[in-house]
Amino acid sequence: MQTVDKAMTLLGFFSTSQPEIGLSELSRISGIDKAAVRRLLVSLIKHGLVEQNPADRRYRLGPGVLHLARVREATRPIEAVIAPILSRLTELSGETSHASVMAGDMLVTCGVSETNRANRVHVDHAERLPLHATASGFAYLAFCPAARRDDILARSLNRFTSKTVTDPARLRERIDTARHLGVGVSEGGFEEEVTGAASPFFDAHGEAIGAIAVTTPTSRYTDEHEVLLRRLLLSAAREVTLGMGGAVPPAFERLIETKDMETV
């Protein structure tokens, strides 16, 4: 199991901003002995999950990853369900929207719809979002099992900006607010001058498995905008949940109904 964990850790370092990584660099950033990293890479190459650039011998993700992604999307579609919802959310909010699903201990972006406004927030299609520093993370933690939440908050938490909250007590306040409203909000917690708002979506058992969010330059995030985004996100979260065959928990459904009544 430790070998599998280490191999998965190596795969997690590849991203759109760092698509190729050398052996020594992988060893350094992973904290794994160079010889062990080489052995792991040989196994990953054997299964097509990693390949080497013949020009410089650096490593990159292999075609086996694409095969697995296509199997997943064909049997448990996420992007096909989320894409039109994100497009509509961006149109109605005027801001960039994105969705993410839990993978290990972080949220992984699975869909992005960017606004055409000149001043906008860019979201990397392969970005991994920390739970304690993002609106999507707050939304997920607010509705995930309590034991899962306690485990996350008990860990050493990284600071990304001057506004990143790492104190467990203060984080619980943010999470409680997200549970009360159905929407998590993070102002500058992951990126300076960026505010995000997000609502969770759920699996067939009514457990949170991801979040749908809107991100905007903080200068445009007004009280009126927050009210609009809350209504849009609650509705979008329900639509994603049902589209993926999930079940909306009664407590979350009541939040949606409350917002629907306010707009009548």
Structure tokens at 203: 């699996």
Structure tokens at 163: 């506004």
pLDDT at residue 260, rounded to an integer: 54
How many domains does one find in the chain? 2
Average confidence (pLDDT) over 145-166: 93
Do residues 238 and 183 touch, judged by C-beta distance below 8 A? no
Shared domain for 37 and 84, answered yes or no, is no
Shared domain for 197 and 112, answered yes or no, is yes
Shared domain for 80 and 53, answered yes or no, is no
Shared domain for 25 and 81, answered yes or no, is no
pLDDT-derived band at 161, boundaries 50, 70, 90: very high
pLDDT at residue 142, rounded to an integer: 96
Is the pLDDT confidence value at 1 over 60?
A: no
Shared domain for 182 and 124, answered yes or no, is yes
**218 vs 51: CA distance, rounded Å:** 41
Q: Which CATH number does the domain housing residue 45 bear?
A: 1.10.10.10
User: How confident is the model over 35-84, as pLDDT tens digits?
Assistant: 999 999 999 999 989 999 988 999 998 888 887 777 776 666 688 889 99
Shared domain for 213 and 111, answered yes or no, is yes
For residue 97, give the 3-state DSSP assignment.
Answer: strand
Q: What residues make up the domain containing 56?
A: 2-67
pLDDT at residue 12, rounded to an integer: 83
Q: In degrees rounded to 5, what are phi and psi of residue 136?
A: -60, -40
Structure tokens at 142: 């607010």
Shared domain for 17 and 84, answered yes or no, is no
210 exposure class (CB count in 10 Å sphere: 0-12, 13-18, 19+) = buried
Average confidence (pLDDT) over 113-138: 90
pLDDT at residue 115, rounded to an integer: 94
User: How confident is the model over 168-227, as pLDDT tens digits?
Assistant: 999 999 999 999 999 999 999 999 999 999 999 999 899 999 999 999 999 999 999 999
Shared domain for 95 and 196, answered yes or no, is yes
Q: What is the DSSP-derived secondary structure letter of residue 144?
A: S
Shared domain for 145 and 44, answered yes or no, is no
- The predicted model scores a pTM of 0.77
Shared domain for 83 and 19, answered yes or no, is no
Shared domain for 170 and 224, answered yes or no, is yes
